[in-house]
Amino acid sequence: MKRSEFPDPFENAREATGLGQMDDQNDPVTMLLRHKDVRKTAHNWKTFQSGAAPGRIVIPSEVHIRDTRQIPFEVDPPMHKEYRSLVEPWFKRPLQETYKDKLSKQINDLIDSVVDQDNLDAIGDFALVLQSRALTLLLNIPYEESETWISWGTHVFRSEDTALDGDKASILYDYIDGEIDKAIANPREDLYSVLLNSEVNGKKLTKEEVKGVMILTFAGGRDTVINAITNTLAYFAEHPKSLDKLREEPEIIGNATEEFIRYFSPLTQMGRVVTEDTHVCEYAAKADTRVSLCWASANRDEKVFENANEVVLDRKVNPHVGFGFSHHNCLGATHARQIMRIFIAALTEKVGAIEVLDFKENIEELGEFKRKVGFDMLKVKMYSK
């Protein structure tokens, strides 16, 4: 298999039944695989809820390692809208020119510091660094804080041998508790303080609610951004003409960003808990069981995307669900899109070619399916232009 190829393991099941099955810590998941079903189900929050026990809609389930409800992610309408409206303006800041300029400087500086370096660890010494530094902008906190997050490594939420590791997760939760206390003692101009000063339905957010937003912000954008960055590097290494094309046609960098998000689908799926006996794809789905919205499968649905298994950099119409769909679409998408657009633009300006020197694929085991979502290890060399 080519290094930059991300096969679609769902094709046969998507066509045959539209469903897949996987177990997850004795709480099985019925996976919805078709674009139309995924979008419809994402929209139907009454029958397919997010506001179940904290951690249950995540796959692998986090119910055993987390009690804090992630906000607005694990809240259903109408309360969801209250929280979402509160945080949305803050998460749209990446559209501002000053934000883009700062992000661009960070990413260009990072590329300058690693270009022509032999055997660069594209995950630990590049993607993680890029993601952590960019997060300081999203939270509006000092750049130096990124050093702490980088020191945690890539696996704060995921250990080498098991998908979940409570001890490592607690590093993040304890850190956030500490930062909330600091922000209470000395108010700042960052997301912590903004949340602590906010009200929902006339009541100030509690510490637990603030923590819920912060955990979501840290966890939601870590592996996903890292996968998007490293997978893009692997892609350009094997498709030098694509990098040349974007150099010549920078106006399609936005389209290319959407296409990479579709093709890589950095988050494979997200769960929902069924609230009443119902049907999905003509099969019974019982109350209190789980279904998942399989973004990765929906994004390869040939009924929606021509040549779905190919990267078409200038794909014009691309209704992908790589950032989810409906009420709960990705809160960090604006930030993630700017990262990808600026990262690709910086590569076209500074890098002539990329070589993959070594790699180990990260394959998710999803019941009957095995899906490549990224790399556990990727060593590269970026050659200056």
Partner 1 sequence: MAKITFVTSDGEYITVEGDSGSVMALAVENNIKGIDGDCGGVCSCATCHVFLTPEDKERIGGASDIEEDMLELDDNANEFSRLSCQLQISDELDGIVLQVAK
Nearer to partner 1, 159 or 318 (CB): 318
Report the nearest approach of partner 1 to the CB of residue 245 (Å). Answer: 17
Nearer to partner 1, 289 or 326 (CB): 326
Of 4, 374, 93, the residue nearest 222 (C-alpha): 374
Report the nearest approach of partner 1 to the CB of residue 308 (Å). Answer: 14
Nearer to partner 1, 145 or 302 (CB): 302
Taking residue 2's Cβ as centre, other Cβ atoms within 10 Å add up to 10
Strand partners, 22: 29
306 binds partner 1 (CB under 8 A): no
Question: CA 240 to CA 353: how far, in whole Å?
Answer: 6
Q: b/e for 7-25, b at 16 or more Cβ within 10 A?
A: ebbbbebbeeebbbebebe
Report the nearest approach of partner 1 to the CB of residue 317 (Å). Answer: 5
- The mark string for 95-114 relative to partner 1 (x by CB under 8 A, - otherwise) is x-------------------
Does the bond joining 250 to the residue before it have cis omega, within 30 degrees of 0? Answer: no
Stretch that binds partner 1, among 52-60, 277-285, 332-340, 345-353 (CB under 8 A): 332-340
Handedness of CA 228, 233, 239, 242 (dihedral sign): positive
Give 284's DSSP letter: E
Residue of 124, 250, 254, 352 that binds partner 1 (CB under 8 A): 254
318 binds partner 1 (CB under 8 A): yes
Coil vs helix vs strand at 158: coil
User: Strand ranges (DSSP E) for the chain?
Assistant: 19-22, 29-32, 48-49, 120-121, 199-200, 203-204, 270-274, 278-280, 283-285, 290-293, 351-366, 369-384
Question: CA 20 to CA 282: how far, in whole Å?
Answer: 13
Question: CA 49 to CA 51: how far, in whole Å?
Answer: 6
Strand partners, 375: 361
Report the nearest approach of partner 1 to the CB of residue 369 (Å). Answer: 24
79 binds partner 1 (CB under 8 A): no
Nearer to partner 1, 190 or 301 (CB): 301
Report the nearest approach of partner 1 to the CB of residue 5 (Å). Answer: 23
Phi, psi of 352 (to 5 degrees): -85, -45
133 binds partner 1 (CB under 8 A): no
Strand partners, 383: 353
Nearer to partner 1, 286 or 303 (CB): 303
255 binds partner 1 (CB under 8 A): yes
Residue of 69, 337, 371, 381 that binds partner 1 (CB under 8 A): 337
333 binds partner 1 (CB under 8 A): yes
Nearer to partner 1, 231 or 334 (CB): 334
Does the bond joining 89 to the residue before it have cis omega, within 30 degrees of 0? Answer: no
Residue of 63, 79, 81, 92 that binds partner 1 (CB under 8 A): 92
Stretch that binds partner 1, among 113-121, 122-130, 170-178, 326-334 (CB under 8 A): 326-334
Half-sphere exposure of 187 (CA within 13 A, CB side): 6
317 binds partner 1 (CB under 8 A): yes
323 binds partner 1 (CB under 8 A): yes
300 binds partner 1 (CB under 8 A): no
Of 63, 29, 34, 62, the residue nearest 48 (C-alpha): 29
Q: Site for partner 1 (CB under 8 A): how many residues?
A: 24
Report the nearest approach of partner 1 to the CB of residue 272 (Å). Answer: 15
56 binds partner 1 (CB under 8 A): no
Stretch that binds partner 1, among 1-9, 39-47, 161-169, 182-190 (CB under 8 A): 39-47
Residues in contact with partner 1 by the rule CB under 8 A: 39-40, 43, 92, 95, 254-255, 257-258, 315-323, 325-326, 329, 333-334, 337
